Structure 1
Amino acid sequence: MYPPPPNPIRPVRGVAVFALTMLAVDTLVGVAAAGVDLWMASLMDQVAADPDAVSEAQLNSADLIYSGSGWTEVAAYLITIAAFLIWQFRVRDNAEEFSPVPHRRSRRWLTLGWVVPVVSLWFPKMIIDDVWTASKPGGVPDRGFAHARRSGLIWAWWLAWLCASWISNVAARLLLTGDDAEAMARAARFDVLSIGLYAVAAALAAPVIWKITAFQEARRASWDAAPSHPVA
């Protein structure tokens, strides 16, 4: 049985289900958007080959559909980020109760770590690494978080996320800087690639979320089942 924490452990299964549901929704929205991207790329190929092959009305309709697809992607992505952060804050709270050893990054980096340039390349992974270490059976090694064994699953998720983010940035720059049909077609195809990589990252994030949740729920169940000892 796990040793009791100093404060009550909060349940995390509900917020984990929310985060996993939004990962699935975001992936499905991405697949639909990829279909729109490929259609738009094909249309732009026609325009590049023959500017008169597509009418003005068709181009206006395509632009409306493409923009709508992009805004739907953004909305699903933002809600997914919010769901992940809610889960992350909850499991970090519990992880701090599981270990008397301070985590390597303070709580402010749970959000700032994702947006501050340069450190965003490794701070979020470091935070999840520490939550994983504090939550799993065995807990934090005597020498601290820096000496804990890293999860290959977290490594795979993080590398997929970095690749997806980089390709997404390339697609956005191509779309913003290109004003001809060929540039728009390239941007649309790069977006398809980034959507595929984000889907891989989501598929790897799901077991990370579920395993950490399972670790913490096992500890919480063990604590709840422990007999109370009245103070004399």
Structure 2
Amino acid sequence: MKPVRGAAGLAVALLVVDSVVGLAAAGVDLWVASLMDRVVADPDSVTDAELNGADVIFAGSGLVEMAARLAAIAGFLFWLFRVRDNSEELSPEPHRRSRRWLTFGWVVPIVNFWFPKQIVDDIWVASTPGRVPGVGLGLGRRPGLVWAWWLMWLCAGLVSNVGARLLFAGEEPEELARAARFDVFSIALYWIAAALAIAVILRITAMQEAGRTAASCTDHGG
């Protein structure tokens, strides 16, 4: 079995960075919303320079936020591939989804609503110490933590999509302020999803490291 603490540490660190960047982006959102409120209340109270600066900062924060999100996803996938390798050694039962779905399962429409969760479920079940062999991974007890993480991830993605549509469709200051505040809501959901993802990473990693240590002791004793 491969050690997974390094991959887990990288994934957790990138998720934390993504959350910190999200916090900064939320601050920018609230600042832009406040600026739009000023425009609505008194258009002459806001200069063109302020509006142009807000556009640049808002767009820049969005790009940084996207980069941090993609890095966090890449770190999570790196960890996921590593623990999937180990879970196949820990359990003889086949996983419900082949290895190609560890990547494609997130982007293929429709199936991306449940394939990634099934993959993590099977890894969790296969990694559980003391599991009775011979029972299919799909029949194992589904961990509530994975359910919570996955539902929050789906909700965050849905709200983020709606917020993006509001932003691109917005033309009036009131609409832009509303879109910016809606984005804060989506960021908050992503924070919760990231915290739950970290909990999932740490739990599966702990189970696999315990299994790896036990296997090492057995081999040494043999």
TM-score range, shorter chain: over 0.9
User: 1:51: Cα distance to partner?
Assistant: 2.7
**Structure 1 counterpart of 2:182, from 175, 190, 198:** 190
2:11 corresponds to = 19
**Cα-Cα RMSD:** 1.4
**Structure 2 counterpart of 1:218, from 206, 210, 213:** 210
Residues paired across the two proteins, number: 222
**1:140–1:65: structure 2 CA closer, same or farther, 3 Å change rule?**
farther
User: Deviations for 1:143-166, whole angstroms, at most 9, x for unmatched residues?
Assistant: 312211110111111111111111
**1:15–1:129: structure 2 CA closer, same or farther, 3 Å change rule?**
same
Unpaired stretches in structure 1, ≥5 consecutive residues:
1-8
The correspondence of residues 26-65 of structure 1 with structure 2, limited to 5 A, is 26-65=18-57
User: Aligned letter for 1:86?
Assistant: F
SS of the aligned residue for 1:175 comes to helix
- Given that 2:2 and 2:86 are in contact with CA atoms closer than 8 Å, whether structure 1 keeps it comes out as yes
Q: Are 1:120 and 2:150 matched, yes or no?
A: no
**Structure 2 counterpart of 1:173, from 165, 168, 173:** 165
User: Deviations for 1:17-40, whole angstroms, at most 9, x for unmatched residues?
Assistant: 000111111111101110110010
The correspondence of residues 65-144 of structure 1 with structure 2, limited to 5 A, is 65-139=57-131, 142-144=134-136
SS of the aligned residue for 1:226 comes to helix
- Given that 1:16 and 1:213 are in contact with CA atoms closer than 8 Å, whether structure 2 keeps it comes out as yes
TM-score (norm 1): 0.92
User: 1:50: Cα distance to partner?
Assistant: 3.0
- Given that 2:163 and 2:183 are in contact with CA atoms closer than 8 Å, whether structure 1 keeps it comes out as yes
User: 1:116: Cα distance to partner?
Assistant: 1.1
> Equivalents in 2 of 1:91, 1:143: separation in Å?
20
- Given that 2:91 and 2:133 are in contact with CA atoms closer than 8 Å, whether structure 1 keeps it comes out as no
- Given that 2:93 and 2:135 are in contact with CA atoms closer than 8 Å, whether structure 1 keeps it comes out as no
Unpaired stretches in structure 2, ≥5 consecutive residues:
none
1:5 corresponds to = none
> Equivalents in 2 of 1:226, 1:143: separation in Å?
24
- Given that 1:133 and 1:140 are in contact with CA atoms closer than 8 Å, whether structure 2 keeps it comes out as no
> Equivalents in 1 of 2:72, 2:23: separation in Å?
15
SS of the aligned residue for 1:114 comes to coil
- Given that 1:99 and 1:139 are in contact with CA atoms closer than 8 Å, whether structure 2 keeps it comes out as no
User: 1:140: Cα distance to partner?
Assistant: 6.1
> Equivalents in 2 of 1:14, 1:175: separation in Å?
39
TM-score (norm 2): 0.96
1:162 corresponds to = 154
- Given that 1:12 and 1:90 are in contact with CA atoms closer than 8 Å, whether structure 2 keeps it comes out as yes
